[in-house]
């Protein structure tokens, strides 16, 4: 089965394909022939994920899903959160976002953080949500070069102290927020279409 994934982020596609294997053909926007930049104007991951999925559903009439992910840091009142991609500014690079995060956390006692992924699926014109959370902490300095985004400064709880960027994709997926949300999406799809 094919399912449109309303994203322009190739890292998300790679990670989700690693989880679903060949059970499901994931079609990111580019591969579905859809060239669009979907705005994310809302102040929650849920609303932004819904906006992305609804935009593509209205455009294609097809089942589709989207995901929105944020890094939530309690010592920064939940920032960068829904603004994770734009923390250091509208066109900020991953490196600029990391630099600002480390700057804002310098001297803070509590470096706890969590990644939260919200998947919105539109299936038979109905909307479903799946959530995945990965608790952890922000390191003092960045480590590793795999992965993307904030991976070089995120240390998952229950690991061996390595950052996500020091792990293979299979290792990251033992902890990952995105993996947990995707596993629920897969369970749901199985219940609808069988194995
Ligand atoms: P879409 O096309 O799916 O909207 P995007 O890149 O705009 O993709 P988001 O709006 O969900 O993605 O922004 C989330 C940002 O959070 C993203 O730019 C990364 O910097 C960061 N991020 C998301 N997942 C991450 C992960 O697993 N590890 C590290 N950083 C992550
Ligand atoms: Na986005």
Q: Would you state the pLDDT for residue 195?
A: 55
ipTM of the complex: 0.97
Q: Any catalytic annotation for residue 22? A: no
Closest ligand to residue 39's CA? 2
- Listed as ranges, residues in the chain with pLDDT below 70 are 195
Task: Work out which ligand 1 atom sits closest to the CA atom of 69.
Answer: 11
Pick the CATH number of 2-193 from 3.90.950.10, 3.30.200.20, 3.20.20.70, 1.10.645.10: 3.90.950.10
The pLDDT assigned to 39 comes to: 87
Residue 169's H or E segment, with its range, is helix 169-172
Which 3-state string (H, E, C) describes 28-92?
A: ECCCCCCCCCCCCCCCCHHHHHHHHHHHHHHHHCCCEEEEEEEEECHHHCCCEECCHHHCCCCCC
**Which residue among the candidates 43, 68, 94, 170 is catalytic per the annotation?**
68
pLDDT (tens digit per residue) in 136-148: 999 999 999 999 9
Q: Looking at ligand 1, which atom is closest to the CA of residue 71?
A: 16
Domain locations along the chain: 2-193
Distance 90 CA to ligand 1 centre (A): 14
């Amino acid at each position: 089965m094919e399912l449109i994934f309303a994203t322009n982020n190739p890292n998300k596609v790679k990670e989700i394909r690693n989880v679903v294997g060949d059970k499901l053909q994931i079609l990111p926007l580019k591969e579905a022939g859809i060239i669009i930049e979907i705005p994310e104007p809302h102040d929650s991951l849920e609303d932004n994920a819904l906006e992305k999925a609804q935009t593509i559903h209205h455009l294609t009439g097809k089942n589709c899903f989207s995901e929105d992910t944020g890094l939530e840091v309690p010592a920064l009142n939940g920032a960068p959160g829904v603004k994770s991609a734009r923390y250091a500014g509208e066109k900020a690079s991953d490196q600029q976002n990391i630099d600002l995060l480390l700057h804002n956390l310098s001297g803070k006692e509590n470096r706890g953080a969590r990644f939260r992924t919200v998947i919105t699926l539109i299936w038979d014109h109905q909307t479903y949500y799946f959530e995945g959370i990965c608790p952890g902490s922000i390191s003092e300095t960045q480590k590793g070069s795999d992965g993307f985004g904030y991976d070089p400064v995120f240390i998952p709880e229950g690991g061996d102290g390595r950052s996500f960027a020091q792990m293979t994709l299979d290792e990251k997926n033992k902890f990952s927020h995105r993996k947990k949300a995707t596993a629920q999406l897969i369970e749901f799809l199985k219940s609808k279409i069988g194995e």
